[in-house]
Structure formats: C-alpha cells, structure tokens
C-alpha cells in the first residue's frame, strides 16, 4: 500500500524513472542494448541522422533520443511523436520497432568494469576476475535487465526475423560505419544520401563525443556527480579483450554464452568440453542455426 502510494506521488511529481513502466505508443522506435554495448554512440548517430540541423550533444541528447532509465514517464510523454527512445530492457512485447545493438560480451565486461568503478558500484581494488564472475552470474546492479546472454537472446530469438527489428553489431559499426549507418537510415526511413551519412558520422565521432563529455560532464544526467578520472565515452575499440582480459575470464564468458555468441558470429578462443574452440561451421552446414545479421539486414 505504502509502496503504491510512493509510486503515485513520484509519478505525479515527475520524479519517477520510467524504466519498464514506460508508457509505450505504437509509433515509438526503440534503441535497445545490454549496457556498455554502444547504445550512446548509436543514440548520437540516430539523433544526427534525424536532426541534421541540430547537432547532438550531451546537453540535448535526452530530448532528441531520451533514456528510459534517466527520464520520468511524465517527461517522456512530452517528447514529440514519433519518439526515438533508448532502453536496456530485456524483451518487451510492447516495443514494436526495435534497433538492437549487440557487442562482444568479452569487450562489454571490460567496459562495464570501468563503468561500475566510475559509478562507485565497486571499489578500485575489486578484482577483474571477481567482476567477470558477477557479470556472468547476474550479480551486477543491472540485474533487472538480465545477464548479457539473457538480454540479447530475449530479443534475437523473439524478433530476429521481423521486418521491424534491426540488429546492429558494434564491431561491424566500428569496421564500416558508413554501410551500417546506411542500414540504420533505411530502417528509420530517412534520407540516406552520402552527405547526410557523412555528416552524422562526423558529428558522432569518438573524438567529438569525448570533447562533448568534458564540456557537459557536470550537467548530463549520466555523468553528473560521477568520477571524472574514468570517462563515460571510452576508447571505442573492438577486440580490446584479447589483450586485457585474463584467460579465466574469457573462458567463463564463452562457457556461459557459447551458443548465442557463435550465432552472432563471435569467434570463440577457449575449447569447450569436446576439445573444440568453435563448431560454428559444422553447425551451420547442418542448418541448426541461422545468422540473425542476415535475417535482419534491410
């Protein structure tokens, strides 16, 4: 009873966090990912594609592509429709049009480790292997969004074949931003001219976002009152885990999510119980899995 009254009061005052209780409209488009998978970069790309005359910054990103975990339901209801909204939620049937960003969980673990230290969720002395064990077993503060594997699979396996679902791999976006941004523009139904794509790419570059973070770190909701020695926008690299992640950590992540990692095209490096590091080719020849990138490319 008291909990319910508190929720009503917060909602009335606009002090609630929308989260999973977000009011959803049929013309909404969602940018969804597990945390630390490139969602903020994609927000900038989408914002700069949709608003070429209004360059995205950390001062206006919450109005251009608002975050369900940073804004109240009341605030989000005021956003002009059609809305483009960021979310980390696992599968929600109400989200009809979804852009899902997936990133190699071995890199996600490294990025999340720095993020949790920045936010004070863990102390600096917290061992990386201990953190990865928490990451794999769902003991992080993001437990309500599931583990990486649960979050990714909840979307890929339910919506992977839908025309209203676009899967973007962070690694592909890094390797060939132009072609992936073109896919994104087509999905959004906006001009995909070379000039517009190049403009959005330039305005969403790592260097520009790092500069903008410095300017707005005391004002933006996601960096305000957080450590300044650990940046929110990190290196923007793919494959850093190969040099920075200890072998036991790699083994734990690959063992936990081997099937979905293989399906998404992530090359495994640690042998499974059969002695094989990866059996993707054999499995695909047998037709037991399909690559969701092929299913969702439009």
* Rounded Cα gap, residues 297 and 212, in angstroms: 32
Cis peptide before 82, with omega less than 30 degrees from 0? yes
Look-up of token digits 């863990």: 122
* 3-class DSSP state of 70: coil
Give me the mean pLDDT over the 79-96 stretch.
Answer: 97
Phi, psi of 238 (to 5 degrees): -115, 135
Over its C-alpha atoms, the chain yields an Rg (Å, rounded) of 19
Q: What is the largest CA-CA distance in the chain?
A: 58
User: 31: how many CB neighbours lie within 10 A of its CB?
Assistant: 25
pLDDT digits (tens, 9 = 90+) for 242-261: 999 999 999 999 999 999 99
pLDDT digits (tens, 9 = 90+) for 7-42: 444 444 455 789 999 999 999 999 999 999 999 999
How much is the mean pLDDT over the chain? 87
Model confidence at 232, pLDDT cuts 50, 70, 90, reads confident
State both tokens at 44. 């900038």
pLDDT in the model for residue 35: 96
Is residue 277 predicted with pLDDT exceeding 90? no
* Rounded Cα gap, residues 280 and 277, in angstroms: 10
Cβ atoms 185, 192 nearer than 8 A: yes
Superfamily (CATH) of domain 2-296? P-loop containing nucleotide triphosphate hydrolases (3.40.50.300)
Annotated domain spans of the chain: 2-296
Cβ atoms 144, 248 nearer than 8 A: no
pLDDT in the model for residue 15: 56
Q: Is 243 left (phi over 0), alpha (psi -120 to 50) or beta?
A: alpha
Task: Calculate the alpha carbon distances from 279 to 129, 140, 267, 268, 293 in Å.
Answer: 26, 30, 10, 9, 19
Is residue 106 predicted with pLDDT exceeding 70? yes
Instruction: Report the run of H or E that residue 102 belongs to, with start and end.
Output: strand 97-102
Whole-prediction pTM: 0.86
pLDDT digits (tens, 9 = 90+) for 150-203: 999 999 999 999 999 999 999 999 999 999 999 999 999 999 999 999 999 999
* Rounded Cα gap, residues 223 and 217, in angstroms: 5
């Amino acid at each position: 009873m008291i909990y319910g009254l508190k929720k009503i009061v917060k909602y009335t005052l606009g002090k609630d966090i929308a989260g999973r209780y977000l009011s959803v409209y049929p013309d909404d488009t969602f940018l969804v990912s597990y945390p630390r998978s490139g969602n903020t970069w994609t927000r900038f790309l989408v914002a700069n594609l949709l608003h070429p005359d209004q360059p995205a910054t950390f001062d206006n990103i919450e109005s251009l592509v608002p975050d369900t975990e940073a804004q109240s339901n009341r605030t989000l209801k005021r956003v002009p429709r059609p809305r483009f909204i960021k979310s980390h939620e696992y599968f929600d049937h109400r989200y009809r049009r979804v852009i899902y960003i997936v990133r190699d969980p071995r890199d996600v673990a490294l990025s999340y480790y720095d993020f949790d230290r920045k936010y004070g969720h863990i102390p600096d002395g917290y061992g990386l292997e201990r953190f990865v064990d928490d990451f794999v077993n769902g003991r992080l503060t993001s437990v309500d969004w599931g583990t990486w594997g649960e979050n990714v699979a909840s979307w890929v396996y339910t919506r992977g074949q839908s025309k209203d679902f676009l899967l973007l791999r962070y690694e592909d976006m890094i390797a060939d931003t132009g072609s992936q941004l073109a896919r994104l523009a087509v999905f959004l139904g906006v001009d995909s001219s070379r000039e517009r794509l190049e403009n959005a790419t330039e305005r969403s570059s790592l260097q520009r976002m790092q500069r903008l973070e410095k300017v707005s770190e005391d004002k933006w909701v996601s960096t305000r009152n957080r450590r300044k020695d650990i940046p929110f926008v990190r290196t923007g690299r793919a494959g850093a885990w190969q040099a920075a992640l200890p072998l036991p950590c790699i083994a734990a992540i690959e063992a936990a999510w081997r099937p979905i990692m293989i399906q998404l095209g992530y090359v495994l490096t640690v042998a499974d119980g059969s002695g094989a590091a990866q059996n993707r080719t054999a499995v695909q020849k047998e037709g037991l899995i399909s690559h969701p990138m092929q299913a969702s490319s439009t």
